């Protein structure tokens, strides 16, 4: 007797289509560090500043989302909400002149590397006062003076460039290292593998960091890539690590060790930081690919709540101090919105500016 | 004037610029220990060492992007492709990044990089090794595209390209590396990007061609002269910026024009130059502009088919006969 033939399946089946009703999390969080900030070499002021920066990123984006929904600006808006511990822990671990480059989920990175709420919001609004003069928008925040080389919109496209920043640092022998951040979706791009091979072969001082937030747009990690992400490093003989990205102190602790080591021996590192994206991929995402239960579970590990509670538990700040910081940030963000609204749009002539560092040339321009 | 091979002129340009500026380095497949797939970089490893003459794996996307990142930090990479046919794998870095980074970051970074290597066909190499990419890259804002035909142009323009603050695609030909020509011995010989050159003067017809096609046209022009037709041959040398002024001035004199382009016909240099000529010199034209290009078909291997496929002097002469109504 011929058996009933089953239809072929290619991509593994996702949470909401699963027939066995099993709830499988898209990403498993390794435990957070148990060390106190002082043990890690951070002062009380440092950890307060960490909270301040994280709360700024959170409120900046929550307000940006409102403005977007009100139709104040167009384009894409990819929110970093839920991942703020990664950017924050990292900038504290790096030297100020170490390079950072990231993908399009870049607002948080800009805010921790010197872009003011005003310049950031104005960029979202497409204003001349924006950090990229309104030429880049949400996906292309940058502050190259402070070694933030920008957000990039082609998945995996900036990974070789991150390798190139490290190449330059080695060439110039300037003691700087480069860090290149991207999402779990970019792990599947060939550009990563070409760059990892050369980085290891050429001993480039670069840290490749996967911010594994569980989803490549709407496709869960287990549905788009094989095996554990950090294990890819093994194929290149590259040092690797995997840690919790929902706790800023854990990110700091690990990134500090890694950065010091990369600086010391000029060899690359491949890091998987596990985190979670609370919002959709972009604003137009109905999020049918994940369950409410999963989102709620990760919201219990909210990195901003966590550091806030830490400050209280360790008696670094009183509730009233924290509220004062929060109120100030709220004002800063509201002021940024006013600033963005009142700022001028780029002048029409600016369409032709910033194309060339040398002599400009525009074919057939009258 | 010294008589140099095309490859020697290129090497001199690279050598001089590497000696002049420590930020200049060259990387690509086989550029160092092998001394260059086409011997352009011969001797440079011995002279400049492993830091500045770098062999890469066959990872066009990866090493092109490393070049872009290095350029953003102030280095001046020369990225050699074994052929621009392989550079298609790096198109994301050239088209999406090198040309756009500066603009999208509001001028906060620049990308002074040269991508160079042979372009277009080189005999019976089949469909994937035979494409001319100059027009395709010229399509994108922010990229300069140079496709010189003679050693002198190659030297002066490559030096300019390396000094450019912005990305430049510099195209050569496997079949021209051994071509000899007189090269200026002027100290620090520079040819500005974007200036064409009238390589043969004539009153009867203007023929435009760059790179390898210039040599096809040269042959055709000599043949035409025997029949009493004096062609004015313009080598734009730079595809973009395109020296349209020089072309228009010539067409106003000759009233007829043939464009010879080693690309496929759709949307190529011939199409663009042809459009500009009809708009800028409409009243001066005594015949519709004609073009000689590849057909809209892949490169064949078979010798007889390949010979039909590639533009030759005979096709150029036919086109000139059409615009001069000598048919």
Say which range, A17-31, B91-105, B200-214, has the weakest mean pLDDT.
Answer: A17-31
Query: Domain residues of chain B, as ranges?
Result: 2-183, 197-323
Residue A138 and residue A104 in contact, taking contact as beta carbons nearer than 8 Å: yes
B-chain residues within 8 Å CB-CB of A149? Answer: 69, 72, 109
* Catalytic center residues of B: 60, 129
- As a whole number of angstroms, the distance between CA A231 and CA A236 comes to 10
What tokens does B164 get? Answer: 């450019």
Count the domains in chain A. 1
Residue A283 pLDDT: 87
What tokens does A288 get? Answer: 């049918």
Report the sign of the C-alpha dihedral through residues A288, A293, A294, A295, in that order. positive
- Residue B204 to residues A140, B118, B223, Cα–Cα distance (Å): 53, 33, 14
Residue A19 pLDDT: 67
Residue A17 pLDDT: 77
- Return the CATH architecture of domain B2-183: 3-Layer(aba) Sandwich (3.40)
Residue B302 pLDDT: 98
Residue A246 and residue A275 in contact, taking contact as beta carbons nearer than 8 Å: yes
Q: Is B287 left (phi over 0), alpha (psi -120 to 50) or beta?
A: beta
CB pair distance less than 8 Å for B68 and A132: no
Considering only CB atoms, B142 lies closest to which of A171, A198, A356, namely: A356
- CA angle, A211 as apex, A205 and A212 as ends, to 5°? 135
Closest to A265 (Cα-Cα) out of A207, A197, A205: A205
A-chain residues within 8 Å CB-CB of B61? Answer: 160, 190-191, 194
What tokens does A66 get? Answer: 């409102």
- Number of neighbouring beta carbons within 10 Å of residue A75: 13
- As a whole number of angstroms, the distance between CA B91 and CA B167 comes to 13
CB pair distance less than 8 Å for A194 and B165: no
User: 3-class secondary structure for chain B?
Assistant: CEEEEHHHHHHHHHHHHHHHCCCEEEEECCCCCCCCCCCCCCCHHHHHCCCCEEECCCCHHHHHHHHHHHHHCCCEEEEECCCCCHHHHHHHHHHHHHCCHHHHCCCCCCCCCEEEEECCCCCCCCHHHCCCCHHHHHCCCCCEEECCCCHHHHHHHHHHHHHCCCCEEEEECHHHCCCEEEECCCCCCCCCCCCCEEEECCCCEEEECCHHHHHHHHHHHHHHHHCCCCEEEEECCEEECCCHHHHHHHHHHHCCEEEECCCCCCCCHHHHHHHHHHHHCHHHCCCCCEEECCCCCCCCCCHHHHHHHCCCHHHHHHHHHHHCCCC
Asked if residue A307 has pLDDT above 70, the reply is yes
| Average pLDDT value over all residues in chain A | 95
Burial of B88 (0-12, 13-18, 19+ CB in 10 A): middle
A-chain residues within 8 Å CB-CB of B107? Answer: 133, 135, 353-354, 357
Residues 6+ apart with CB under 8 A from A355: A362, B102, B103, B141, B142
CATH of residue A146: 3.40.50.970
Asked if residue B152 has pLDDT above 90, the reply is yes
- As a whole number of angstroms, the distance between CA A135 and CA B191 comes to 33
Q: Does residue B128 belong to the interface with chain A, where contact is any CB pair within 8 Å? A: no
A-chain residues within 8 Å CB-CB of B63? Answer: 160, 194, 198
pLDDT tens profile B184-213: 999 999 999 999 999 999 999 999 999 999
Closest to B152 (Cα-Cα) out of B127, B185, B110, B114: B185
Residue A51 pLDDT: 98
A163 falls within a domain:
yes
Q: Region B154-163: what's the mean pLDDT? A: 98
Length of chain A, in residues? 366
CB pair distance less than 8 Å for A355 and B102: yes
pLDDT tens profile A170-212: 999 999 999 999 999 999 999 999 999 999 999 999 999 999 9
Considering only CB atoms, A171 lies closest to which of B70, B102, B276, namely: B70
Determine the distance in angstroms separating the CA of A147 from the nearest CA of chain B, rounded to an integer: 10
Determine the distance in angstroms separating the CA of A263 from the nearest CA of chain B, rounded to an integer: 18
A346 falls within a domain:
no
How many interface pairs between A and B have CB atoms less than 8 angstroms apart? 162
Q: Region B214-234: what's the mean pLDDT? A: 98
Determine the distance in angstroms separating the CA of B27 from the nearest CA of chain A, rounded to an integer: 12
CB pair distance less than 8 Å for A160 and B51: no
What tokens does A54 get? Answer: 């994280």
Asked if residue A243 has pLDDT above 80, the reply is yes
Residue B294 and residue B311 in contact, taking contact as beta carbons nearer than 8 Å: yes
pLDDT tens profile A34-92: 999 999 999 999 999 999 999 999 999 999 999 999 999 999 999 999 999 999 999 99
Determine the distance in angstroms separating the CA of B153 from the nearest CA of chain A, rounded to an integer: 20
A92 falls within a domain:
yes
Residue A286 pLDDT: 87
Q: Region B279-288: what's the mean pLDDT? A: 98
Residue A213 and residue A184 in contact, taking contact as beta carbons nearer than 8 Å: yes
Q: Region B294-304: what's the mean pLDDT? A: 98
Asked if residue A20 has pLDDT above 90, the reply is no
A361 falls within a domain:
no
Burial of B139 (0-12, 13-18, 19+ CB in 10 A): middle
A-chain residues within 8 Å CB-CB of B73? Answer: 99, 164-165, 168-169, 172
Closest to B239 (Cα-Cα) out of B317, B144, B100, B161: B144
Determine the distance in angstroms separating the CA of B324 from the nearest CA of chain A, rounded to an integer: 29
Asked if residue B133 has pLDDT above 90, the reply is yes
Q: Give the distance between the most distant pair of CA atoms in chain A.
A: 77
What tokens does B91 get? Answer: 């198109």
Residue A1 pLDDT: 58
pLDDT tens profile A344-362: 999 999 999 999 999 999 9
| Average pLDDT value over all residues in chain B | 98
A66 falls within a domain:
yes
Q: How far apart are the first and last CA of chain A?
A: 77
- CA angle, B268 as apex, B265 and B273 as ends, to 5°? 110
Considering only CB atoms, B72 lies closest to which of A130, A149, A363, namely: A149
Q: Region A118-140: what's the mean pLDDT? A: 98
CB pair distance less than 8 Å for B107 and A353: yes
Residue A24 pLDDT: 72
Burial of A364 (0-12, 13-18, 19+ CB in 10 A): exposed
Provide the residue range defining the domain that includes A43: 31-341
Right CATH for B197-323 from 3.40.50.720, 3.30.565.10, 2.40.50.100, 3.40.50.920: 3.40.50.920
Asked if residue A276 has pLDDT above 70, the reply is yes
């Amino acid at each position: 007797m011929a058996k009933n033939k089953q239809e072929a399946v290619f991509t593994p089946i996702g949470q909401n289509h699963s027939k066995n009703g099993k709830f499988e999390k898209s990403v498993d969080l390794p435990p957070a560090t148990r060390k106190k900030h002082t043990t890690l070499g951070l002062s009380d002021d440092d950890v307060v500043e960490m909270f301040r920066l994280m709360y700024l990123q959170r409120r900046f984006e929550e307000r940006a989302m409102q403005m977007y929904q009100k139709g104040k600006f167009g384009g894409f808006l990819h929110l970093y909400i839920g991942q703020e511990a990664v950017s924050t822990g990292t900038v504290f671990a790096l030297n100020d002149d170490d390079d950072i480059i990231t993908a399009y989920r870049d607002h948080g990175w800009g805010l921790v590397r010197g872009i003011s709420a005003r310049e950031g919001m104005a960029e979202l609004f497409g204003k001349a006062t924006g950090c990229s003069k309104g030429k880049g928008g949400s996906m292309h925040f940058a502050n190259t003076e402070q070694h933030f080389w920008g957000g990039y919109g082609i998945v995996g496209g900036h990974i070789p460039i991150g390798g190139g920043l490290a190449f330059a640092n080695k060439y110039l022998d300037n003691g700087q290292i480069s860090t290149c951040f991207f999402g779990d979706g970019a792990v599947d791009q060939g550009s990563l593998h070409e760059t990892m091979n050369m980085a290891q072969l050429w001993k480039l001082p670069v840290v490749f960091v996967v911010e594994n937030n569980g989803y490549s747009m709407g496709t869960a990690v287990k549905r788009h890539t094989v095996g554990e992400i950090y294990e890819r490093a093994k194929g290149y003989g590259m040092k690797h690590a995997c840690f919790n990205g929902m706790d800023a102190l854990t990110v700091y602790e690990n990134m500090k060790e890694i950065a010091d080591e990369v600086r010391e021996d000029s060899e690359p590192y491949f890091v998987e930081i596990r985190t979670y994206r609370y919002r959709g991929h972009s604003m137009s995402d109905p999020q049918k690919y994940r369950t409410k239960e999963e989102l709620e579970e990760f919201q219990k590990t909210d990195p901003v709540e966590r550091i806030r509670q830490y400050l209280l538990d360790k008696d670094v700040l009183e509730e009233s101090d924290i509220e004062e910081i929060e109120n100030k940030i709220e004002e800063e963000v509201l002021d940024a919105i006013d600033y963005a609204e009142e700022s001028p749009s780029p002048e029409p002539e600016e369409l032709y500016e910033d194309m060339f560092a040398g002599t400009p040339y525009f074919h057939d321009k009258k | 004037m010294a008589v140099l091979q095309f490859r020697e002129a290129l090497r001199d340009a690279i050598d001089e610029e590497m000696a002049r500026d420590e930020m200049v380095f060259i990387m690509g497949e086989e550029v160092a220990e092998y001394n260059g797939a086409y011997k352009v970089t011969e001797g440079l490893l011995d002279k400049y060492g492993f830091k500045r003459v770098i062999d890469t794996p066959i990872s066009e996307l990866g090493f092109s992007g490393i070049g872009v990142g290095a350029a953003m930090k102030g280095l001046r990479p020369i990225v050699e492709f074994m052929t621009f046919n392989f550079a298609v794998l790096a198109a994301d870095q050239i088209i999406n990044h090198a040309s756009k980074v500066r603009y999208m970051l509001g001028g906060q970074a620049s990308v002074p990089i040269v991508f160079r290597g042979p372009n277009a066909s080189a005999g019976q190499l089949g469909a994937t090794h035979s494409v001319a990419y100059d027009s395709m890259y010229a399509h994108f804002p922010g990229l300069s595209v140079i496709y010189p035909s003679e050693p002198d142009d190659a030297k002066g323009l490559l030096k300019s390209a390396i000094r450019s603050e912005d990305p430049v695609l510099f195209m050569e030909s496997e079949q021209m590396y051994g071509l000899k020509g007189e090269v200026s011995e002027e100290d620090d010989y520079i040819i500005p990007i974007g200036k064409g050159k009238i390589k043969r003067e004539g009153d009867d017809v203007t023929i435009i061609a760059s790179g390898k096609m210039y040599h096809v046209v040269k042959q055709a022009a000599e043949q035409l002269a025997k029949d009493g037709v004096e062609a004015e041959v313009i080598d734009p040398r730079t595809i973009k910026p395109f020296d349209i002024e020089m072309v228009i001035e010539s067409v106003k004199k000759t009233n007829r024009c043939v464009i010879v382009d080693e690309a496929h016909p759709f949307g190529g240099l011939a199409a663009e130059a042809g459009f500009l000529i009809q708009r800028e010199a409409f009243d001066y034209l005594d015949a519709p502009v004609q073009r000689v290009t590849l057909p809209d078909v892949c490169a064949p291997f078979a010798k007889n088919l390949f010979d039909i496929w590639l533009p030759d002097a005979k096709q150029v002469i036919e086109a000139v006969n059409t615009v001069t109504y000598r048919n």
